[in-house]
Structure 1
Amino acid sequence: MREHRIRHSWAEARQTAFDAAEPVPETALPLGPDLCGRRLAEPVVALQDIPHFDSAAMDGWAVNGSAPWIFVSPGERLYPGQASDILTGGLVPPGAKAVLRSESGRVSADAEGLPVLQLSSEAKPGEPRAGQHIRPSGKEAVAGEQLLAAGTILNPVRLALAALSGADSLSVAGRARVRLLFTGDEVVDSGIPGPGRVRDVFAPQLSAAVLALGAEVVGEARLPDRLPETVAALSATDAEVFISTGGTGRSAADQVRRAIDELGADLMIDGVAMRPGGPVFLARLPGGRFLVGLPGNPLAAFMALATVAQPLLAGLAGLPRPAAIEVLSGAAHEPDPGRSRLLPYRDFYGLASPVAKTESAMLHGLAQAEGVLVVPPHGVKLGEAVPAFSFPWN
């Protein structure tokens, strides 16, 4: 494992993680709900006119000429003085000049007792006009017309439009496949933990967070604090990215660093000059896969995820590096030479004010927050502009 410079700044770490990624190749997937949220790699065009036939916009009768009309079987060609029943969306028969809506017509009998269509008292003057209540072929789009541009994020309505275009599959931008690895023999999955044990907080939320960052989770596993199992887990080939929780230190129980040493990984980020979340690392594993090692404390892990994993996953998805926003600080913060401080905040009257209960192992404050301040090492004054980032699920 080759050592790189230690403790990148917050900005350097984000840029390094982003620059390390090459976009995952685009892929063609069947049209369906799983495509919701995916980004189109190629435009969607109409494969035929939409609609591809003249259709009725109302329930009623297809007619030719003026009233009265005699009836012919649906689908037959209409000549002047003829009509046939039609429903909304139905194929307008050859020869039809308009559709008379059901409220505007009434059926009576002629002298021979045969049904005849007449205008009703509700018919408007001049009804039916030529072409009235007929949706002509190609009214929405003509064959070859672009319906959705490349880069469009698919949603339910856009998926429906793609189906209307005639497409059975769509080419979408690739997204990273992520495997989650949870470490710690002291972690319990359910119930109230006893002394020396802690409740798992990563399994319930990390998969959802990764999905919000535009990647897909292909698996997750809880690892014992043993080297062989850790090495085996990091040797899987079905993911571009591994994200581990805990085990990033150098104690006898921490096996993740030993595993990447054994695998000959390239350690690209080994600690970031920030708190919380400083003990995060990014390693390139054999075969071009990545490992993001998050610290074991919950708040620290989230800050590390946003600092390293988010730009890495954006780069793999072919997206721009997530940009920091700028807010006005609701409090003064003293300098902390050499490192940035990441502080969850809420907006109060236009000022970003830090919330309480934001120690590294806490989650209460983060759950109340609207974003995270990135206080630079030189500190910040009350009301001064300061970098910040929002949560991916906002």
Structure 2
Amino acid sequence: MKSIATLALLLPMAASAESKSFPLFNGTDLSGWKGEGYVVEDGAIVCTPQGRNLTTDLTFANYAFDFEFKLPPGGNNGIGINYPGEGDAAYTGIEVQVLDNTDPKYKDLKPYQFHGSLYTLLAAKKAPLKPVGEWNRERIIVNGDFVQVTVNGEVITEGDLSKLAAEHPDHQGVKRRSGHIAFLGHGDRVAFRGMTITEIAPVANDEGAKQGGFTKIFDGETLNGWQHTKADLEHWQPANGILKHDGKSSDLWSEKEYGDFMLAFDWRWSAPGPIMKRPIIGPDGKETGEQVEVQELDSGVYVRGNSKSQVNLWNWPCGSGEVYGYRTDKSQPADVIAGVTPKSKADKPLGEWNRTLITMKGDKLTVSINGKTVIEEATLPGVAAKGKIALQHHNAFIDFANIWIKEL
């Protein structure tokens, strides 16, 4: 078992000079954020007396969040992490305290209420806060179970969320591993500026993949090997090992064609989708007539150069892995339709990374998601013997990472 200190050494990506950071605030308005009671003044977001939650439109899983903050005397706010966007962020997500705990009115604080603490979960060391009215610099790293808070260059909080979840079984937020970032106002004029995010790709065993005969087909920093235009780079953005798609533009096709192969990759939804009703699908591939409300999130991977042979990535009740083009083709035999219907839903909660393996051999398809086989030796009649692979554009925000292929 690695200590927290050792885990910190395994996170150079979050602090690396080569890593790309992106602004979360444009300095002029609240584009990219939702909420009320905050205003922009002199290039900073300022909480007003009406301020409560101000939440990012996008969601994040593994990242370093950097920002500056300025406290008024007795100022109180918070940073919500892994926040689902509803409920009390201190409990449905996790609240990192932002507080002028030098003020006399806070003389009776509990240990977990001091600045930089994870509220109700973990006490911070005494933060080296600058005098009230001056700007402080803070970094919050969230990477799977690992959380770290640094204030003005000094680490004051380190925690293991799995251990904290075991210690606080009734706390729902500590069980989450993705969500929005939010400012959690209490009506004090706390100011924030310089917000940037540096996202971290999920860990993969690159050396093991190479030894297993896999070749990386996304280098993590460019779209080399993929057909694209300059305009596509506005919507398919590679950085820090992650390929981010904003739901616009078009499908992204590989330059190379593949016949029999194993394709391994990670993916996650990076923003919520609209609420829509979607059908319950039985094990025979037929819709039962019952519908449920879900967030409409849709993408997929085209294999052998054809959209019909698409392995769906979506939030339908049946789960990802389904081959919609074959399941809905009424001319196909019953066993084909049932074969391309997922045996179960293996997707992780929305916003978390999923690891997927697609195997095509002849006209047979197998799909595993998060270590669970959901499609096994399904027949795709008429599928091409060879063709390009595509990542589907379908209006949803989605991230891809660690895209490897092994030709069979």
Bigger radius of gyration: 1
TM value normalised by structure 2: 0.21
TM value normalised by structure 1: 0.21
- More strand, by proportion: 2
- More helix, by proportion: 1
